[in-house]
Amino acid sequence: MLVHLCCGVDAGYFLKKLKEDFPAETIVGFFYDPNIHPYNEYLLRMEDTKRVCNKLNIQMIEGDYNYEYWLKRVSGYENEPEKGVRCSICFDISLEETAKLAKKFGHNKISTSLLMSPMKSKEQLASVGKMVKRVYDIDFIIKDYSLKGGHQKQQQMAKENQVYRQDYCGCIFGLIAQREKNGDNKPDELYSPITRQILPASIEERLQLYAERDKLEEKNIEFKIIKENFLNYRLLNGKVTIQKKTIPSYILFYSYLERKNGGRVEFEKDGIAHLNRMQIKFISLKKFNFLLNKNYNSIYEIIKKEGFEEGYHKGKEEGLKEGILKEKEEGFKEGILKGIEEGIREGLLKGIEIGLEVRFGAEGLTLYPIIKKIKNVDVLEAISEAIKTAKSLEEIEKLCKKFYSL
């Protein structure tokens, strides 16, 4: 059974229950969620779901992040409410892809962890399931494990395993609507500085946090993720001007700088200039380099280098993944060759066993345990041929002794 997975929280409990209900099934997870925005949030949920699958000993396949395709398909329905037409199309996209992959790999059933979410319409999911049956001839397994206290158990399981718990469904349209409904006007998850600073409570910071969790877990070091509330802020835009001329700057912003602030430098000490307003400070490039132990020649270089470093780390990660895949592929090929060789060996042994019995009766079979220890396929082939023409069992025995060491 191929199971579409949406996030670690839903996948964990859903897969656990499926395994209990379908003990004879080989269950494979499929993380296909091009609806999740921004990409770092997608990565966060994907890595978390992979961790959950590993814990349950379930293989997980990652689908394509074809976000533009998703956007095109939901185009015109951006303002639909949750459980509306956009969500229905969103389910179609995920389950169509799941059905196609299931067909390719020979699975005859699919399901989705979306069935765990109280925010999803079960009727909509069921009607997508009917389409899957009609078009792809694949059964859609509908299980509502959230009933009879299931939802509470699911939350408990996620808490115990310190799984990442997101606070929006996934797409940008749902997120904006949710924030508006709650009276917050800005989806701050979607803002990240072009200077690549990793801001508190940002998705980028969460990615680092959960990567740290995984490292600790690998090393068997105990840890606890604690939730904290604090003042969250984002810089929507900012520039520094002197006499109307904008000067290149790298802004480390304050939470309470809400609007345009002007002033004059009151005094300068140790490379730090203090403005007479709002405790604003200017740090010279020299001081900046000194504080951070860097060697930048200009503001442009800071921005470029930060970008380079991020790109470098991303590239390294991708390279590593590709390397692992290559190794896996090599291993797969080797496995096939080994399998073929083992198959031939087993076939030859079977033939030898029958040949010994047919030609020399029960006595002939006394040689079989010795022959069984021979690994070399060529030697087994020679013995098999010899059995057909040998005049006595001794002849075969001599041959075996000669080759036994091979």
CB 44 within 8 A of CB 164: yes
CB of 170 to ligand SF4, least distance (A): 4
Residue 295 neighbours by CB distance under 10 Å:
8
CB of 87 to ligand SF4, least distance (A): 3
Length of the chain: 406
CB of 211 to ligand SF4, least distance (A): 24
- Reference 115, options 91, 82, 89; nearest CA is 91
Distance CA 264, CA 210 (A): 43
Q: Which is nearer to ligand SF4, 170 or 355 (CB)?
A: 170
Distance CA 6, CA 367 (A): 58
Q: Which is nearer to ligand SF4, 120 or 213 (CB)?
A: 120
CB of 11 to ligand SF4, least distance (A): 16
Question: Which segments of 56-126 are extended strands (E)?
Answer: 59-62, 109-112
Query: 120: alpha, beta or left, given left = phi > 0 and alpha = psi -120 to 50?
Result: beta
Q: Which is nearer to ligand SF4, 71 or 273 (CB)?
A: 71
Q: Which is nearer to ligand SF4, 27 or 116 (CB)?
A: 116
Q: Which is nearer to ligand SF4, 169 or 399 (CB)?
A: 169
CB of 90 to ligand SF4, least distance (A): 3
Query: 321: alpha, beta or left, given left = phi > 0 and alpha = psi -120 to 50?
Result: alpha
- Reference 3, options 85, 67, 60, 81; nearest CA is 60
Structure tokens at 103: 């067909």
Peptide bond before residue 118 is cis, with ω within 30 degrees of 0: no
Distance CA 34, CA 70 (A): 6
CB of 41 to ligand SF4, least distance (A): 11
CA 163-43-326 angle, to 5 degrees, is 110
Structure tokens at 260: 């345009």
Q: Which is nearer to ligand SF4, 174 or 193 (CB)?
A: 174
CB of 86 to ligand SF4, least distance (A): 4
Q: Which is nearer to ligand SF4, 35 or 154 (CB)?
A: 35
Binding site for ligand SF4 (CB under 6 A): 35, 82, 86-87, 90, 169-171, 173-174
Residue 268 neighbours by CB distance under 10 Å:
12
CB of 205 to ligand SF4, least distance (A): 23
Q: Which is nearer to ligand SF4, 12 or 174 (CB)?
A: 174
